[in-house]
Amino acid sequence: MSDRILGGFGLLLTAFFIWRTSVIELSFISDPFGPKAFPYIISVVFGLASLVVFLRPDTEPEWPPLSRMFEIGMTVAVMVAYALVLPELGFVISTALTGAYLSWRLGTPPLKALAAGVAISLGIFVVFHLILGLSLARGPFGF
């Protein structure tokens, strides 16, 4: 029963994604696919996955223990906090902190997790901003 609820929720979310993608305004200068292509692709993949879960539910799903549910909730809270502080702290600092926390929760010792967060943040910054020239949120230090 819980798998069907999750699948149904995923299908509703897919419909919402498709609707929101359909109202994206197009500029007169755009690439051949336009800004709607990627959200539509993600929506179709998410919708197909949700449909499979809805139509072929697990007979006896095994829910994680309460401690694991708390970890999942904390991860969701960290991702929401990341989205909220990104404009204020900038991409590099926000991503370093988030990457460090997630690395730590995946079992890395704290100092190594901090190093991993910084490496992840700087690596993504170099690839997306310096190499590809994409605009990322600037923080109080200008990067």
What does 42-87 look like in DSSP terms, one character per residue? Answer: HHHHHHHHHHHHHHS--SS--PPPHHHHHHHHHHHHHHHHHHHHHH
What are φ and ψ of residue 96, in 5° steps? -65, -45
Q: Which long-range contacts (CB under 8 A, 24 or more apart) does 94-97 make?
A: 94/137, 94/139, 95/120, 95/121, 95/124, 95/125, 96/120, 96/121, 96/122
Q: DSSP class of residue 123?
A: H
- Taking the C-alpha atoms of residue 57 and residue 6, their distance in angstroms, rounded to an integer, is 10
Higher pLDDT pick, 81 / 130: 81
What are the phi and psi torsion angles at 120 (to 5°)?
A: -60, -45
Q: What are the pLDDT digits (tens) for 72-114?
A: 999 999 999 999 999 999 999 999 999 999 999 999 999 999 9
Q: State the average pLDDT over residues 105-134.
A: 94
pLDDT of residue 62: 81
Residue-wise pLDDT for 6-60, tens only, equals 899 999 999 999 999 888 877 766 666 677 888 999 999 999 999 999 999 888 8
